[in-house]
A and B are shown apart, each in its own frame.
Chain A
């Protein structure tokens, strides 16, 4: 069972925005930054957001991250068909001394 909790699926129409949540606890999201990864079917994950709200070069500013307390969110605006993918959150857990991931959210662009 993943330590971080994400909704298994999300969907929205092109051009609209969507937010994916990631719920954790005081030892992970509550104490550390959150990272987000995007994974297309059959491909390796790609770093999408690091340090909770920063984007690596090459990631469009349609993608943004935030955190409040022990929960984090990934927001995607102006949805495109190419955004259809699985999205995973991750954070270091100070209690178990491990990186922990969410179970992933499958985003469908209707």
Chain B
């Protein structure tokens, strides 16, 4: 069974930093591209970052580029999101999300974790 379990969320002051982690299991992690997507409670979804299978390619939303960094450790089956210079508007539930390219068919965001809540407030 595919499982994505996020951790690392919590309360942080504006301007502070936080590192989120996502532990993956139930699939060959190193063969799948990964993303982070966030959702303000009661609001819509916002894609934040993408990382390729090797970690050699990353992409970011303009809203977090230069502040957030996505990375992965295929040996540990984990993907992280380092968040710096946090702002009140970064308060949200952060999801770890898998991309799936299976036999030439692309299933974007096919599995989601349950999310970890980040609150940025003084």
Question: How far apart sit A89 and B85, CA to CA, in the bound complex (Å)?
Answer: 30
Known: A97-B59, A102-B44, A103-B43. 19 other contacts (CB 8 A): A2-B44, A37-B45, A37-B109, A45-B109, A50-B107, A50-B110, A51-B105, A54-B105, A88-B44, A90-B45, A90-B47, A90-B108, A98-B59, A98-B62, A99-B47, A99-B108, A101-B44, A101-B47, A104-B44
Interface residues of A in 45-99 (CB under 8 A from B): 45-47, 50-51, 54, 56, 88, 90, 96-99
Query: Are B45 and A45 in contact (CB-based, < 8 A)?
Result: yes
Q: A44-B95, A44-B115 are in contact. Are A90 and B109 (CB under 8 A)?
A: yes
Q: A35-B108, A56-B110 are in contact. Are A96 and B62 (CB under 8 A)?
A: yes
CB distance from B51 to the nearest CB of A (A): 13
Task: Indicate whether A100 reaches chain B with its CB closer than 8 angstroms.
Answer: yes
Interface residues of B in 76-122 (CB under 8 A from A): 95, 105-110, 112-115
B115 to chain A: which residues have CB within 8 Å? 44
Question: How far apart sit A50 and B108, CA to CA, in the bound complex (Å)?
Answer: 7
Question: How many positions in chain B have a CB within 8 Å of any CB in the partner chain?
Answer: 21
A44 to chain B: which residues have CB within 8 Å? 95, 112-115
Query: Are B107 and A98 in contact (CB-based, < 8 A)?
Result: no
A43 to chain B: which residues have CB within 8 Å? 114
Q: A44-B95, A96-B62, A98-B61 are in contact. Are A35 and B44 (CB under 8 A)?
A: no
CB distance from B36 to the nearest CB of A (A): 11
